[in-house]
């Protein structure tokens, strides 16, 4: 049980659309926090999350949750479904009745729980797909949606969101508008995973919103999640937060992520073995092997009946996860379920670095 008056407790995280927990790993790492509940409707995927966060209950379907009964959190994070805003989908957009329209339920959770921080992740298409905004609960102002909301007449610049009221909003503009209606300021950034050494582009949008009463250092333009008053006998501080000795609630889950961050700037020399095995991909593979601290698994499973298919272990490695995070036999996922789970996930190193940039950090951890 968390005591809200305990100023030395870690920040509490609530997780929505949780998947295998890639975004949660980044949030716990950057905020020195712990996830206390999650919401995942896919039962096989929820087994993976529950294994790594055994004390966090699954609240289930986000559309049926009574937020008045949910424990409060300091950070709410989630990557709502991307199918209708993805550039490879039908581009139905952020609208009621679509999978991506489940964002409205996340917005409802933000309004009810009033977290200090909100972290959102989604695909590049969030910048180019149209949106139809739905009125938030208790909002008496009519929110007009110019018609028709097509890709051709969207506001022209994907980074100047909501500047032209006569143009239909992009999906990202609708999300940012809802956050503003909820009394939150937001920063957002788009980054490819390859910028952090991953052997694939995987461009993603990250948003960090904060309540207007959250402390911000105007001199350095940095957000400070928490300032704990150091008490007698407490250990060294990190990011101005006193941490009691030995009290590292997420250290076992995210210690490897700190190691990846430390290896980011290292020079990597490609050996003859890499060139022989990987050819033109040798440099990218060697770099990611160094950052993740382990060799790349075989990329494909060979079968005479169905031909080659992607290896779940290789996809897990590509996503920068520890071995077995999704593919461990104890999760009882089929190979197809493992691939689906991994394909819909978040690369933790990419997310953690994006959050540090959004907070105004220089990317180094003290």
- Per residue in 129-153, pLDDT tens? 767 655 545 545 444 444 444 444 5
Q: What CATH number does domain 11-223 carry, 3.10.350.10, 2.60.40.10, 3.40.190.10, 3.40.50.150? A: 3.40.50.150
Q: pLDDT value at position 123?
A: 83
Query: CA-based Rg of the chain, rounded to a whole angstrom?
Result: 21
Taking the C-alpha atoms of residue 199 and residue 217, their distance in angstroms, rounded to an integer, is 36
Please identify every stretch of the chain with a pLDDT value under 50, giving residue numbers as ranges. Answer: 1-5, 136, 139, 141-152, 166, 227-248, 362-366
Euclidean distance between CA atoms 161 and 172, whole angstroms: 7
pLDDT in tens, 198-211: 999 889 999 999 99
The answer to whether the beta carbons of residues 62 and 109 sit under 8 Å apart is: yes
The residue ranges of every structural domain in the chain are: 11-223, 272-347
pLDDT value of position 40 = 95
Instruction: Say if pTM beats, i.e. exceeds, 0.85.
Output: no
Please name the residue that has the structure tokens 């905020």: 31
CB 202 within 8 Å of CB 211: no
């Amino acid at each position: 049980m968390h005591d809200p008056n305990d100023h030395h407790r870690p920040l509490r995280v609530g997780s929505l659309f949780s998947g295998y927990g890639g975004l949660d790993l980044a949030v716990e790492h950057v905020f020195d926090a712990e996830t206390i509940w999650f919401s995942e409707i896919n039962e096989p995927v929820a087994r993976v999350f529950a294994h790594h966060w055994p004390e966090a209950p699954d609240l289930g379907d986000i559309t049926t949750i009574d937020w008045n009964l949910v424990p409060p959190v300091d950070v709410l994070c989630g990557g709502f479904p991307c199918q209708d805003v993805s550039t490879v989908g039908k581009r139905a957009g952020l609208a009621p009745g679509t999978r991506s329209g489940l964002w409205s339920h996340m917005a409802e959770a933000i309004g009810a729980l009033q977290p200090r921080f909100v972290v959102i992740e989604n695909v590049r298409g969030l910048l180019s797909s149209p949106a139809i905004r739905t009125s938030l609960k208790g909002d008496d102002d009519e929110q007009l949606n110019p018609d028709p909301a097509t890709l051709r007449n969207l506001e022209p610049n994907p980074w100047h969101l909501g500047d032209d009221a006569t143009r239909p909003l992009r999906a990202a503009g609708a999300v940012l508008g809802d956050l503003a209606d909820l009394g939150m300021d937001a920063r957002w950034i788009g980054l490819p995973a390859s910028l952090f050494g991953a052997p694939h582009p995987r461009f993603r949008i990250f948003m960090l919103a904060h309540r207007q009463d959250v402390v911000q250092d105007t001199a350095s333009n940095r957000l400070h999640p928490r300032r704990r008053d150091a008490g007698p006998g407490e250990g060294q501080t990190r990011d101005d937060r006193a941490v009691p000795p030995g009290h590292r609630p997420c250290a076992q889950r995210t210690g490897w992520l700190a190691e990846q961050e430390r290896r980011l700037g290292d020079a990597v020399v490609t050996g003859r073995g890499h060139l022989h095995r990987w050819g033109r991909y040798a440099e990218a593979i060697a770099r990611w092997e160094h950052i993740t601290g382990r060799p790349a698994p075989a990329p494909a499973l060979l079968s005479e009946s169905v031909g080659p298919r992607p290896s779940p272990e290789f996809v897990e490695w590509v996503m920068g996860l520890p071995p077995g995070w999704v593919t461990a036999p104890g999760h009882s996922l089929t190979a197809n379920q493992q691939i689906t789970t991994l394909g819909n996930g978040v690369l933790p190193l990419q997310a953690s670095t994006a959050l540090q940039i959004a907070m105004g950090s220089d990317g180094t951890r003290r």
